[in-house]
């Protein structure tokens, strides 16, 4: 989904947030490392997210697997959740339409105590996706050259 949104987004908008999203993704991986969370599917997702930010696309392994048909019972059980989600999204959209100065903000619930958050995040991601190592290393050098900043973000 993010991949499609990224492509549809005007270039000047996506470019203006790309670097910050890459930094936050490295911090996310760093806190997972600091919390001693064993590598899992979330790490694969983090790497795919980063790959989209860097290359504007990723490989979706799940699309290669044949999907099972959805039963009527399963659909009935989940349609109310889908409807609620759509309703919630419409409410949020309406808030932004009514106030064009309103900006989205992300909660800051975790802080990394790591002195080397970018390096640790990149190292963890490179274990999951060795093919990203060069771009991760290049980004770490660039981000460190930008200077130190607060390393807050949400742990997912």
Question: How does DSSP assign the chain, residue by residue?
Answer: -HHHHHHHS-HHHHHHHHHHHHHHHHHHHHHHHHTTPPP-HHHHHHHHHHHHHHHS----GGGGSPPPPPPHHHHHHHHHHHHHHHHHHHHHHHHHHH-TT--------EE---TTHHHHHHHHHHHH-GGGHHHHHHHHHHHHHT-----EE---
Q: Does residue 156 or residue 121 have the better pLDDT?
A: 121
Look at 21-30, 70-79, 136-145 and tell me which has the smallest mean pLDDT.
70-79
What pLDDT, on a 0 to 100 scale, did the predictor assign at position 19? 87
Q: How far is CA 54 from the centre of its chain?
A: 12
pLDDT band at 76 (very low <50, low <70, confident <90, very high): confident
pTM for the structure as a whole: 0.61
- Residues 60-68 have a mean pLDDT of 64
Report the percent of the chain where pLDDT is more than 70.
73
What pLDDT, on a 0 to 100 scale, did the predictor assign at position 150? 47
For residue 61, pLDDT over 90 is answered with no
Could you report the per-residue pLDDT of 99-141, keeping only the tens digit for each? Answer: 877 776 655 555 555 568 999 999 999 999 999 999 999 999 9
């Amino acid at each position: 989904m993010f991949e499609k949104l990224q492509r549809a987004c005007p270039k000047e908008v996506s470019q203006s947030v790309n670097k910050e999203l890459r930094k936050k993704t490295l911090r996310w991986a760093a806190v997972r490392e600091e919390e001693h969370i064993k590598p899992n599917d979330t790490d694969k997702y983090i790497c795919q997210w980063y790959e989209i930010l860097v290359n504007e696309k990723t490989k979706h392994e799940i699309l290669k697997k044949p999907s099972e048909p959805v039963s009527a019972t399963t659909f009935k059980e989940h349609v109310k959740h889908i409807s609620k989600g759509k309703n919630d999204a419409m409410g949020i959209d309406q808030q932004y339409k009514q106030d064009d100065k309103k900006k989205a903000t992300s909660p800051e619930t975790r802080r990394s105590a790591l002195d080397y958050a970018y390096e640790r995040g990149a190292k963890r991601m490179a274990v999951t996706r060795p093919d990203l190592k060069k771009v991760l290393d290049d980004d770490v050098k660039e981000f460190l050259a930008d200077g130190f900043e607060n390393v807050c973000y949400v742990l997912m």
